[in-house]
Amino acid sequence: MNLQKFLLLSSLMYTFGCTGADKLEIINPVAYVDPYIGTGGHGHTFPGATLPHGMVQLSPDTRLFGWDACSGYYYEDSTINGFSHTHVSGTGCCDYGDVLLMPTVGEQRYQTTDPQSQQLAYSSAFSHENETAEPGYYSVTFDNGIKTELTVTSRCGMHAYQYPVHSVHGLTLDLTTARNWDRTVMTSIKKINNRTIQGYRKSTGWAKEHNVYFFMEFS
């Protein structure tokens, strides 16, 4: 057998061996993503829903003041103030937190008696056992029974709320709350119809002139 025939035979044997092998397991790298990485210590990250290069970073906000409020969420906290649509991640500087929504039950409270409190008047307690975060999706069930689910498209944030049966419930829209040195300059809300509102929040802080416009539709 010359060398050319030997190489051809070896190649055929290798091909037959490969076709008889088991199929390789397909691994989805997204399954290994942990959005909570960096939400403790001084990582300054947030666990909410976002997409690469997306305009919306929809995530819970747990505190208002201090270095660890930069991304809005800090893992050691046990209350959530609401879900805002813009967040910075890993910056070490505080900004954004625009257009905050918070589902509520019972008496609606708006004013916080302590101006230095990390909790807003309508904040709710939660446990990490009732919280889920994965790429593009976030969910939490508050101690008061409200379940919130968040997801995003490249330009929109979508909320789904499930209130306890027979509860007196509401939804707070806050355009004035700001973190650390950020400050609201001007806001606007306009009712378009019974399902739709539009408006804006203009603020100054790390970004000296930061303007966010929104169009919100309810089911």
User: What pLDDT does 9 receive?
Assistant: 41
Write the pLDDT tens digit of every residue in 120-144: 999 999 999 999 999 999 999 999 9
Residue 112 tokens read as 């916080």
SS3 215: strand
Out of 88-97, 139-148, 162-171, least confident range: 88-97
Write the pLDDT tens digit of every residue in 58-77: 999 999 999 999 999 999 99
pLDDT at 3 over 90: no
Amino acid at 24: L
User: What pLDDT does 21 receive?
Assistant: 56
Q: Residue 14: pLDDT band by 50, 70, 90 thresholds?
A: very low
Write the pLDDT tens digit of every residue in 205-215: 998 999 999 99
Q: Contact at 8 Å (CB) between 7 and 14?
A: no
Beta bridge partners of 193: 196
Model pTM score = 0.86
117 compared with 3, residue with greater pLDDT: 117
User: What pLDDT does 1 receive?
Assistant: 54
SS3 8: helix
Between strands 57-61 and 157-162, the pairing is unpaired
Q: Contact at 8 Å (CB) between 197 and 175?
A: no
SS3 173: strand
Q: What mean pLDDT, rounded, does the chain reach? A: 90
pLDDT > 90 fraction of the chain, expressed in percent and rounded: 76
Is 202 buried (19+), middle (13-18) or exposed (0-12) by CB count in 10 A? middle
